[in-house]
Amino acid sequence: MDGTTQAAPAGANSQRARLEALYAEMRPHSLFPLWEVLAALVTPVPRSPARAHRWSYGPARDYLLRAGDLISAEQAERRVLILENPGLPGSSAVTPSLYAGLQLILPGEVAPCHRHTQCALRFVLEGEGAYTAVDGERAVMRPFDLVLTPNWQWHDHGNESARPMIWLDGLDIPTVRFYDASFAERLDVAAHAETVPAGDSLRRYGRNLRPMRGTAADRRPAHQPLFHYPHAEWRESLLALAAAEAPDAHLGHAMEFVNPADGGAVMPTIAAHVRHLPAGFETLPRRGTDGTILVVVEGRGTAEVEGVEHRLEERDLLVVPSWQALRLRAETRLVLFGYSDRAAQERLGLWREERLAA
């Protein structure tokens, strides 16, 4: 070999030239050859453009409060800082299918009432005593409560406390955008009229019980009766599980939030869960097709995603893209909340996980 590049056979060059001429002729008719792109369309494993990324809560909180000095909740409709994945610039997405943002409601404010086809969850990070109202029923929010605003149900947020209220918004905006199925309406008043006392749904549907079907007491939509999952209750259940058995090698102690109507995920497109890792515990690596957003509820530790470490402190947020191996290490007791598109993937027969050895 003399280091020179060998020329392609003349026949190959001629064939390529004829193909390129054919492609150029087809292009104005919006016709394109699958064989040129098939390997990129049907990949042997997922190749998400999203990147693993951690948002430290402190700096994000500071920016959000500064925004609160400059624009009101009414002006903004929703005063939110988008957590945009650095691998998806300009998309307003945290994964290709999900959205995440930090919302601020200041004392005395109301975020106006609207509804939309997008499913949304709220995970409270700071403050106590503000509310989310769904179809006129208020859920009084406390730190680390999970509150749902199911699609096409009227909802507004108000803060009658003396402190700012901050929570994580998780929505399926990119999924709805993919299907070109977005609709939204705004109520002609800022807040929906109160229809029942605050917490009514929790009393009726929150203890694995429900009013007898067909009675007047069974008042919420049959497919989505519960929309408030208080921190005090889910933490008690999670720690009871942790006290009763050893942690799963790949997940720690893990519990899913469920819809009491059918035992499935809390919403059609979004699943939510919590995890507990005892102090000193380290998981084995695991990956799944559902890109996941994690929030540190308690403790500190590290998350290793595809060999890259991310420090975890209380209220920090981490996105783990599809099919990227995650290993968690707990320095102290570590409690995490997470949401993902697993619910939609399971309905479509797409979801898969792989539990890896050390």
CATH number at residue 143: 2.60.120.10
In sign, the C-alpha dihedral spanning 61, 62, 64, 65 is positive
Give me the pLDDT at residue 1, please: 44
The verdict on pTM exceeding 0.85 is: yes
Contact 128, 161 (CB under 8 A): yes
Task: Give 7's pLDDT tier (boundaries 50, 70, 90).
Answer: low
In a domain, 318, yes or no: yes
In a domain, 17, yes or no: no
Residue 346 structural domain: 53-355
103 three-state secondary structure: strand
8 three-state secondary structure: coil
Separation between Cα atoms, residue 164 and residue 124, nearest integer Å: 12
In a domain, 295, yes or no: yes
User: Distances from the Cα of 340 to the Cαs of 42, 100, 201, 269, 331, in angstroms?
Assistant: 23, 11, 25, 8, 25
Separation between Cα atoms, residue 134 and residue 260, nearest integer Å: 17
In a domain, 282, yes or no: yes
In a domain, 324, yes or no: yes
Please state the domain count of the chain.
Answer: 1
116, amino acid identity:
H
Summarised one tens digit per residue, pLDDT across range 249-286 is 999 999 999 999 899 999 999 999 999 999 999 999 99
Separation between Cα atoms, residue 275 and residue 256, nearest integer Å: 9
Q: Which two tokens stand for residue 107?
A: 């004392």
In a domain, 77, yes or no: yes
Separation between Cα atoms, residue 210 and residue 230, nearest integer Å: 17
Separation between Cα atoms, residue 314 and residue 299, nearest integer Å: 6
pLDDT surpasses 90 at 62: yes
In a domain, 170, yes or no: yes
In a domain, 8, yes or no: no
Summarised one tens digit per residue, pLDDT across range 331-341 is 999 999 999 99
Task: Give 42's pLDDT tier (boundaries 50, 70, 90).
Answer: very high
Separation between Cα atoms, residue 219 and residue 210, nearest integer Å: 10
